């Protein structure tokens, strides 16, 4: 009888600990989800696929506009020191390159197509989708352009939309094709 009471008490304590830890994990998960919007891998993948189509210029200009309207918020902002340098524009602290969805559409029309633009990887955290990319259109095999884009997204009645985009990339050659001019530092 003594043994069964001890076993029963131990089982009761163990069950209580498991139940408490499960409820704590569940509560912290719910609290975390309350702070962060949930973006599924599928939503992120669809979003990345749409942006790759824009860079590759797949489809017509009407298709591009439709993708921008579907995936980018009206008050969308684009930040990039690399892009500002590439365009030969001055860089301020914020690095704001385009301040609206309309400016993005105009830029897509101006920029060349990048047919081999490809996704190397991407990940999602909270309201951010980070897309790591490469293309060889400018520097070829010897100097491929590689960089990342971090989208800050929000859920709207029309689905997931980018509110903010931050882009940085590694290639002076990419900047040159976009119209920038560069002089090597003296002694290089």
Q: Does the pLDDT of residue 108 top 50, yes or no?
A: yes
Q: What is the mean pLDDT of residues 97-123?
A: 89
Residue spans of the domains in the chain: they are 1-35, 41-177
Phi/psi at 169 (5° precision)? -145, 170
Alpha-carbon distance of 149 to 121, in angstroms, equals 11
Among 111, 153, 116, 150, residue whose Cα is nearest residue 130? 150
Contact by Cβ (8 Å): 152, 163:
yes
Q: What is the mean pLDDT of residues 14-33?
A: 43
Share of the chain above pLDDT 90, in %: 36
- Topology (CATH) of 41-177: Nuclear Transport Factor 2; Chain: A, (3.10.450)
More confident residue, 67 or 187: 67
Q: What is the pLDDT of residues 30-54, one digit of tens each?
A: 344 456 777 888 999 999 999 999 9
Both tokens assigned to 188: 């290089």
Q: What is the pTM of this model?
A: 0.71
> Would you list the DSSP string of 68-118?
HHHHEEEEEEEE-HHHHHHTT----SS-EEE-SHHHHHHHHHHSPP-TT-E
Question: Over the chain, what is the mean pLDDT?
Answer: 79
Q: Does the pLDDT of residue 8 top 60, yes or no?
A: no
Both tokens assigned to 167: 């882009």
Q: What is the pLDDT of residue 161?
A: 93
Q: What is the pLDDT of residues 135-170, one digit of tens each?
A: 887 666 677 888 999 999 998 888 889 999 999 988
Q: What is the pLDDT of residue 25?
A: 39
Q: Does the pLDDT of residue 3 top 80, yes or no?
A: no
Q: Which strand (E) or helix (H) includes residue 32?
A: helix 2-35
| CB-based burial, 83-121: b 16+ in 10 Å, e otherwise | bbbbeeeeeeeebebbeebeebbeebeeeeebeebeeee
Beta strand ranges found along the chain (DSSP E)? 72-79, 96-98, 118-125, 128-139, 143-156, 159-169
More confident residue, 26 or 125: 125
| Other beta carbons less than 10 A from residue 28's beta carbon | 10
């Amino acid at each position: 009888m003594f043994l069964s009471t001890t076993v029963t008490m131990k089982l009761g304590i163990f069950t209580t600990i498991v139940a408490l830890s499960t409820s704590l994990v569940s509560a912290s998960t719910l609290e975390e989800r309350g702070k962060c919007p949930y973006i599924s891998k599928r939503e992120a993948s669809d979003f990345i696929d749409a942006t790759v189509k824009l860079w590759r210029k797949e489809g017509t200009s009407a298709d591009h506009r439709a993708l921008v309207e579907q995936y980018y918020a009206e008050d969308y902002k684009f930040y990039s020191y690399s892009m500002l340098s590439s365009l030969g524009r001055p860089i301020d602290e914020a690095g704001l390159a385009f301040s609206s969805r309309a400016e993005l559409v105009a830029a897509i029309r101006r920029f060349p197509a990048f047919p081999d633009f490809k996704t190397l990887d991407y990940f999602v955290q909270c309201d951010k989708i980070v897309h790591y990319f490469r293309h060889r259109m400018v520097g070829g095999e010897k100097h491929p352009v590689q960089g990342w884009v971090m989208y800050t997204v929000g859920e709207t009645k029309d689905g997931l939309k980018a509110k903010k985009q931050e882009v940085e990339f590694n290639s002076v050659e990419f900047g040159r094709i976009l119209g920038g001019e560069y002089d090597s530092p003296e002694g290089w």
